[in-house]
Amino acid sequence: MPGFLLFSNMKYVRIEGSRKLASFIEPMKAQLSDLPPFDGSDWIFEIKWDGYRAIAEINSHGNRLYSRNGLTFDKAYPKVFAALKNIKKHAVIDGEIVVFDEHGKPNFQKLQNYKSNDRYTIQYYVFDCLSLEGKSLTDRPVIERKEILKKILPASDVILYCDHVDTEGKALFREMKKMKLEGMIAKRKNSKYYIGKRTPDWLKIKNVQTQEAIIVGFTEPKGARSSFGSLLLAVKKRGKLVSVGNVGTGFTDKSLKELHTKLKKITRKTSPLDIPIKETADITWVDPVLVCNIKFTEITEDGSIRHPVFQGLRVDKAASEVHLEKTVGKRSK
């Protein structure tokens, strides 16, 4: 169904000008780490960009640009898609689409609401190359794949090579904190590319805590607030949909109105949660199909998220994919 993203429970969320591909490459994913920033001669370290993961396929049959779950991005981000034609090699590349605000910082909300005539800068930071001229590179070490990638990317203001720091992860993380960026990705130098897999060969080390959550309801607005007061959030735990609390900050007047319009179309009479919470009269339940990004300070012992801030809806994730991220501790040698 063109223009829509299909979720596992057969609900659809409108994505302007996009369609779900019948076949696509699912990118390799990093494991969330609870380790402090570290140095390591066997590791390289990259900026963790706050955007949409995107695979680009460049070939003579026609280029493709799409999300981690096969949602096309050619209409949503035409500047990025148009810039792909300047890559003269047949290749499959992996990176992150990012929009920068007026302060030069990545801004997820502006990416989600991006229009091609926006004054904000949009860039595609590319960090891996999966194949070149029809030959797979996934069995080669990441450090070799990045060297190949760097050589095939032409000079561009839109598609940029995502460079890395060798060995000195602590120094890079200090810079991330100064710049208030989300964090960094640590990659073992000899790591292969495992399509669709999440492995500890790639680690996410966050400066800002973020989490994807499923919207299961909203409360009535109070005071000067319009549309709704807060969103009720949930994640999947051991196959059950459970509450992780509410988020009531991070919205603009525009995002409140637009999100409320979406929510009113999917209201329901009963809670979708598998583990009930105390219900109040001001709650309106919705079908659990919309996924959002939030940032927060910590997760409490009972599983609630403290001090959450809404960052925007995710168009590239189905509700069935949303779990509390598992962390990895001690690094393997």
Catalytic residue numbers, as ranges: 48
Q: Is the distance from CB of 175 to CB of 47 less than 8 angstroms?
A: no
- CA separation (Å) from 94 to 91, 125, 133, 248, 265? 10, 9, 16, 34, 35
Spatial contact of 63 and 86, defined as CB atoms under 8 Å apart = no
Torsion sign (Cα): 113, 115, 118, 124: positive
Give CA–CA dist 121/103, Å, rounded: 11
Of the candidates 255, 233, 241, the residue with the CA atom closest to the CA atom of residue 306: 233
Inter-residue contact 95 to 156 (CB < 8 Å)? no
CA 160, CA 172: separation in Å to the nearest integer?
19
Residue 239 structure tokens: 């196959």
- Which residue, 91, 113, 92, is CA-closest to 101? 113
How far is it, in rounded angstroms, from Cα 13 to Cα 323? 20
Q: Using an 8 Å Cβ cutoff, are 289 and 13 in contact?
A: yes
Task: Show contacts of 84-89: CB within 8 Å, 24+ apart.
Answer: 84/56, 84/58, 84/159, 86/154, 86/156, 86/159, 87/58, 87/152, 87/153, 87/154, 87/159, 88/152, 88/154, 89/58, 89/132, 89/133, 89/152
| C-alpha to C-alpha distance for 249 and 226, rounded to whole angstroms | 13
